[in-house]
Amino acid sequence: MWNFSCPLIVYGDNSLDYLAQVKGKKAFIVTDKNILKLGLIKPVTDKLDEAKIQWEIFDDVEPEPSLTTIKKGGVAVGKYQPDWVIGIGGGSCMDAAKAIILLLARPELEPESLSVLEEFNFRTKARLMAIPTTSGTGSEATWAIVLTDTKDNRKLGLGSTECMPDVAILDPVMVMGMPPQITADTGMDVICHAIEGYTSVWGTSMTLGPGLIATRLTLEYLARAYKDGGDLEARKEMMNAATMGGMSFGNSMAGLAHSTGHALGAIFHVPHGRAVGLFLPYTMEYLINESAETTAKYAEIARYCRVASSGSDKECALALVARIRALAGELGQPLSVKDCGVGQAEYEKEIPRLIERALNEVMTMTVTRIPGEEDLGRIFKYAYEGKSIDF
Amino acid sequence: MAKYLSQEWCDLYKEEINKSKAYEEAAKTWEGDFYFITEPGGPVKEKGFMYVDLYHGKCRACEIVTDPNKYKPAFTLAAPYNIWKQIATKKLDSTKALITRQSKLTGDMAKIMRYTKAANELTNCTMLVPTEWLD
Ligand SMILES: [Fe+2]
């Protein structure tokens, strides 16, 4: 038994108009202070006013939402008792909204217990909506929740299949003002979701489609959106790509670029998309070197995306790796950990912790070549220097 | 061949765990015991309890228990016979089984999630036990 789930996806120009059709009485908006300052909440609340839905804003979400913030949001939502919870922002805000709606149903739980082991049935109280303001995490179309335990700087992969949003609204006006750096960071996350979802051992014929299309869209439109934020077509297609990326890995699993990137992000505070995007070419090379199965899948992607037209699977797969490095270069993204500004001595000291974290991610188990401590250590070292993986 | 849910099977499983270098490395800091519970259904008529005590990369005990009150393990993992069979033969991923509620875990989930690799190696050990299935 497995399942494929995704929200009702409202997309394209004027998508926010959908809000005026929503039935409900009270909406609890989960966001951060920056989104509020950028004026991205007002177009939403204007529509809610039209629909005669009252609203309250919780804007305390920080970039890597902590258990403490979620607890605070849980108390606030409990007092407000809304019938909609709306996450507006990047992955952090949308993930926080998922966690907060679970606490609306089960206020007695601690945020670290918001996992598949519990039942929530929150839809008897409220429904969940996600409105992304970045094109990256795909959180609007996944049930996963990433929270940070600030005690030991550890990222916790939580969530329950129940907390797939009911509705995701992809309105390009919400991303048009995204600065180039965030466009680049979050866009690299998309290509990781798409490619890792496509090649995950949990993937099936149900999940291949979104991964393939999301990869092609990202290769075609990300650099355009980065260079000209006002390019409406590129912005729209990157929004679609991000959501499809979510549908890809959210219904299968991410892979090694995510487990290694997560570890780097947690210890050295490199933004998520930048960290996973950095590791993607290295981890692809690692898989290409031993796994014919994954190499064949990379080759399928390369051919579909017109990155390579002839050549063996290995040649096509390596052409895809080269294309991803070229894209990262075009976006001014770091190609090595050294380029991220992490000091060598400090990095080397942390390698055991990086290994320990990456080793125990589910995402490390869902690839066709599972690295042990030794291989992970070498991947981390090569990625620091910017050396292609030759083992 | 050892029959599923027999003490003989448990002895072989314990042996395989204690032979596994990969498990030892991944679980070197793990401390925690389990009941693996087979729910009645199919060829299994009564709830079956297997007690497994894992400590610092080794299996200290593995036994079939008839009185579930004998131990108070930190974790329990329960599933019907057909699901256990699929997990043990790697036809079903144990995390997928949890997500789809085909198996039920009690205990500190966050702790288990820090030892994903060890859990994977533990399943690899079940593959090595020549098992006489009940159906
Ligand atoms: Fe990601």
Of the candidates B26, B99, B110, the beta carbon closest to that of A116 is on B99
Query: Which chain A residue's Cα is nearest to B118?
Result: A360
Angle between helix axes A256-268 and A272-290 (nearest 10 degrees) is: 140
**Residues belonging to chain B:** 135
Which pTM value belongs to this model?
A: 0.95
Q: How many angstroms does the Cα of residue A137 sit away from the middle of ligand 1? A: 5
CA distance A186 to A190: 7
CA distance A85 to A104: 10
Q: How many angstroms does the Cα of residue B130 sit away from the middle of ligand 1? A: 40
Q: Residue A42 is encoded by which pair of tokens?
A: 């007002």
Subunit contact B110:A161, Cβ cutoff 8 A: no
One-letter-per-residue 3-state SS of A162-183: HHCCCEEEECHHHCCCCCHHHH
Give Cα A63 to chain centroid, integer Å.
13
Subunit contact B117:A360, Cβ cutoff 8 A: yes
Q: Would you say A121 and A163 are in contact if contact means Cβ atoms under 8 Å apart? A: no
Q: Residue A128 is encoded by which pair of tokens?
A: 């969940």
CA distance A248 to B51: 38
| Domains, chain A, ordered by start | 8-174 (3.40.50.1970), 186-385 (1.20.1090.10)
Is B116 near chain A, with CB under 8 Å?
Answer: yes
Number of inter-chain CB pairs under 8 A, A vs B: 51
Of the candidates A161, A364, A365, the beta carbon closest to that of B99 is on A161
Tens-level pLDDT at each residue, chain A (391 residues): 899 999 999 999 999 999 999 999 999 999 999 999 999 999 999 999 999 999 999 999 999 899 999 999 999 999 999 999 999 999 999 999 999 999 999 999 999 999 999 999 999 999 999 999 999 999 999 999 999 888 877 788 899 999 999 999 999 999 999 999 999 999 999 999 999 999 999 999 999 999 999 999 999 999 999 999 999 999 999 999 999 999 999 999 999 999 999 999 989 999 999 999 999 999 999 999 999 999 999 999 999 999 998 999 999 999 999 999 999 999 999 999 999 999 999 999 999 999 999 999 999 999 999 999 999 999 999 999 999 999 9
Subunit contact A117:B106, Cβ cutoff 8 A: yes
| Domains, chain B, ordered by start | 2-125 (3.30.1050.10)
| Predicted complex ipTM exceeds 0.95 | no
CA distance A4 to A251: 6
